[in-house]
Chain A
Amino acid sequence: MKTVQCMLGLILLAIANCPHSIAADYQVGERVGNTKAAPKANASYRVLDWDDMIPADWDPMQAIKGLDLDKLDDADPRAIEALEQMRSAWNDAPVVPGLNSQRVQIPGFVVPLDMNGTKIREFLLVPYFGACIHVPPPPSNQVIHVILPKILPKDQQKTIDAAAQEYGPVSVSGTLETVASNTSMGFAGYRIKADRFAPYQIKGR
């Protein structure tokens, strides 16, 4: 009888070991939470919050401010215009230039870009889950293009690959670069040349 139990156990083990888990464990729109609460891995990195990446004086909602939304219909041309303005504000969201070439640590959700075999080579880091599929994407100053170092320890690569499979969270440390909108890119944004990665657990889960 024992043998039978052992066999069943091993079958379950083999199936559970199967690397692909289906359906992510996060709710759409779920955010990484208070990043400062995360354990500090290394004193040489500044722990960054997603809000730190938005200039203090930037307000995408400006267009809506003057409107009395209660009195407006969805199809009202004024409402549509305000929405369009808000969208273009999101598209041209400015970056915080002071963050350039700072060594930072920030957690976020992974959106895979390039893969070599099953290994992730480049990805985008976003502040909430489902940014790529279910919900409108974040403004451009809330997206970080993460470039992995050529050689990465195996366990860290595994951490990223696992996170990418379910668009899950990961903590990234590295040098942040800002690209201003007046450059040839025609687009403002952030980029991290990453040094190290760590699994990230959302608090209270």
Chain B
Amino acid sequence: MSMKYLLVLAARSAWNRKLTLGLTVMAVALSVTLLLGVERLREQAHKGFSLSVSGTDLIVGARTSPVQLMLYAVFRVGEATNNISWSSYEKLAQQPLVAWSVPISLGDSHHGFPVLGTNQDYFKHYHYGDNLALRFAAGRPFSSTFDTVLGAEVAERLGYKLGSRITLSHGMGLGGLPEHKDKPFVVTGILKPTGTPVDRTVHVSLEAISAIHLDWAGGIQPPGFHIPQEYVRKFDLQPKEITAALIGLKSRAAVFRVQRAVNENKDEALLAVMPGVALEQLWQVVGVAEKSLLAVSVIVVVVSLSGLVAVIMAGLNERRRELAILRSVGAQPREILMLLTYEGVFVTLAGIVIGLALLSGVTIGAAPIMQEKFGVAMTMSLPSIGEFKLMGAVMLIGLLASLLPAYRAYRLSLADGLTPRV
């Protein structure tokens, strides 16, 4: 019998048992979705995070864990433990080795999107990816106090255009936040998409952050106390404190020296981290969880493939006669072995293909949530090398697993299937 006939035979026979095999395919598909999903999430998180900052030598903030400083200052995940004073920042910015510095002030939000107070240097010095600068899709950087520049995603999701008026909320999160209603902002610029947290950020000037909190005390606006927008300019809007600062040095090799100077600062407890080092530390922390997740999903795949073996094994009993007839018309034991192996391999292959399709669906569905909650950009893409490796491993396990029932069928004698049982 040629291979083609065997394949046709295997397919037809499988079609006869489509319900049980179909369920097995679904089990394999779901397990493959889980496995590839974990791998994809891991890869995209790594990629997204490391793309988010480039060319910055040090990130300076209040003394805390390096990973945490990195998380809130660059990825806007979690909240700042403390602020640093403006005078410390100025002293730092004037050090001879510092080429540029960008102050950052966080804490407010707009419909769940973080608001970042900074100055014009941010648009010049903040780089991402392979040393790319921010570019404007429309408009220009903010120039007056109540101007704002939106990230690409903020503008798109909320439907803002140049000239739109928006109000900021006090604090982070969604809903139930007190609003800075009395001081609306005008959109003067919209940035091009970057695939980094910048897309989800509302940028205003540091003076604006001071201005909207002028008439606030202890986190609320005291009743009856109100400074109208037009009078704000009469106050000193020089910020008293900022959340963090991005620092670029004249010589990158000087980074240790400046870092030590910041960390040993006697006036205020400051911390300087090197983004590359902090990221590696983050991966070491996350690595344990990643590995256990991957291990669990590998086990799920094995369980589903055991199910596959069980289904084909159980099917052997029903198919005694079928196989015996094949033998009686001239099929060799070797061909019976192939027949059953094909079935197992087909089911695994179908599982992998459907699993991959499911994963694409889930990726599209979950991408906005992942972006919003964890700052991880999930993009549709061809499977990576890592994913192909995993799929290959599943395929291999599937092949080996289906050899088990195949070998059993191979051993069944011709007479065994033809003798009627009582």
Interface residues of A (CB under 8 A from B): 3, 6-7, 10-11, 13-15, 17-23, 91, 111-118, 121-124, 131-133, 136-138, 140, 143-145, 164-165, 167, 179, 184-187, 189-191
Give complex CA distance A61, B5 in Å. 85
Cross-chain contact A187 with B260 (CB below 8 angstroms): no
Query: Which residues of chain A come closer than 8 Å to B129, judged between CB atoms?
Result: 116
- Picked from A113, A115, A165, the residue with its CB within 8 Å of the CB of B252 is A113
A87 to chain B, nearest CB (A): 9
How far is A23 from B287 in the complex, measured between Cα atoms in Å? 10
B401 close to A (CB within 8 Å): yes
* B277 interface neighbour in A15, A132, A143, A184, Cβ under 8 Å: A132
Pick from A7, A13, A22, A136: contact of B400, CB below 8 A: A7
Residue of B131, B252, B284 with highest tally of chain A CB at under 10 A: B252
Assembly CA distance A23 to B55 (angstroms): 26
A116 touches B403 (CB 8 A): no
Most buried by B among A15, A19, A20, A140: A20
Flag whether B218 is at the interface (Cβ < 8 A). no
Q: How far is the CA of A190 from the CA of B254 in the complex (A)?
A: 10
Say whether A111 contacts B253, CB under 8 Å. Answer: no
Residues B298 and A145 in contact, CB atoms below 8 Å apart: no
C-alpha spacing A117/B49, complex, angstroms: 8
- Look across to chain A and name the residue whose beta carbon is closest to the beta carbon of B99: A185
Say which one of B22-30, B137-145, B348-356, B388-396 lies at the interface with A.
B388-396
| Chain B residue nearest in CB terms to A6 | B400
> B: which residues have CB within 8 A of A?
46-47, 50-51, 54-55, 57, 96-97, 129-131, 250-257, 259-260, 274, 276-277, 279-281, 283-284, 287-288, 290-291, 294-295, 298-299, 302, 305, 386, 389-390, 393, 396-397, 400-401, 403-404
Instruction: Indicate which residue in B131, B253, B291, B396 contacts A191 across the interface (CB closer than 8 Å).
Output: B253
Identify 17 new A-B residue pairs, CB closer than 8 A, beyond the known A121-B131, A132-B256: A7-B397, A10-B397, A15-B298, A111-B274, A112-B279, A112-B280, A113-B252, A114-B54, A116-B130, A121-B54, A132-B274, A133-B277, A133-B281, A137-B256, A138-B256, A140-B257, A187-B253
Q: Which of A15, A114, A121, A190 contacts B253 (CB 8 A)?
A: A190
Question: What's the nearest-Cβ distance from chain B to residue A12, in Å?
Answer: 9
Q: Establish whether residues B96 and A186, one from each chain, have CB atoms under 8 Å apart when the complex forms.
A: yes
Q: Chain B residue with minimal CB distance to A1? A: B404
The reply to whether B393 and A13 form a contact with Cβ atoms under 8 Å apart is: yes
- Chain B hits for A113, CB < 8 A: 57, 252, 255, 274, 276
Contact among B254, B280, B284, B389 for A187, CB-based, below 8 A: B254
Tell me whether B252 and A116 are in contact (CB under 8 A). no
Closest chain A residue to B48 by CB distance?
A117
Whole-angstrom distance between the alpha carbons of A145 and B249 in the complex?
13
Q: Given that A15-B291, A91-B257, A140-B257 are known contacts, is A187 also in contact with B401, CB under 8 Å in the complex?
A: no
Give, as a whole number of angstroms, the nearest-CB distance from A200 to chain B.
19
Determine the distance from Cα of A91 to Cα of B264 in the docked complex, in whole angstroms.
Answer: 14
Cα–Cα distance between A10 and B284 once the two chains are bound (Å) = 24
Q: How far, in angstroms, from A179 to B274 measured CA to CA in the complex?
A: 22
23 residue pairs of the A-B complex, CB under 8 angstroms, read A10-B397, A11-B302, A14-B294, A15-B291, A111-B276, A112-B279, A112-B280, A113-B255, A114-B131, A115-B50, A116-B51, A121-B131, A123-B276, A132-B256, A140-B253, A143-B253, A143-B256, A165-B283, A184-B250, A185-B97, A185-B254, A190-B253, A191-B253
Please, which residues of chain B bring their CB within 8 A of the CB of A184?
250
Chain B neighbourhood of A6, CB < 8 A: 397, 400
CA distance A113 to B274 in the complex (A): 7
Q: Are A111 and B277 in contact (CB under 8 A)?
A: yes
Bound complex: CA A25 to CA B277 (Å): 17
The 5 A-B residue pairs with the shortest CB-CB distance, nearest first, are A137-B256, A112-B276, A189-B253, A145-B253, A115-B50
Are A145 and B252 touching (Cβ within 8 A)? yes
Q: How far is the CA of A194 from the CA of B31 in the complex (A)?
A: 45
**A contact residues around B291 at 8 Å (CB):** 15, 18, 20, 22
Instruction: Report whether B253 and A144 are in contact in the complex, using a CB–CB cutoff of 8 Å.
Output: yes
Q: Is the CB of B254 within 8 A of A164?
A: no
What are the residues of chain A within 8 A of B397 when measuring CB–CB? 6-7, 10
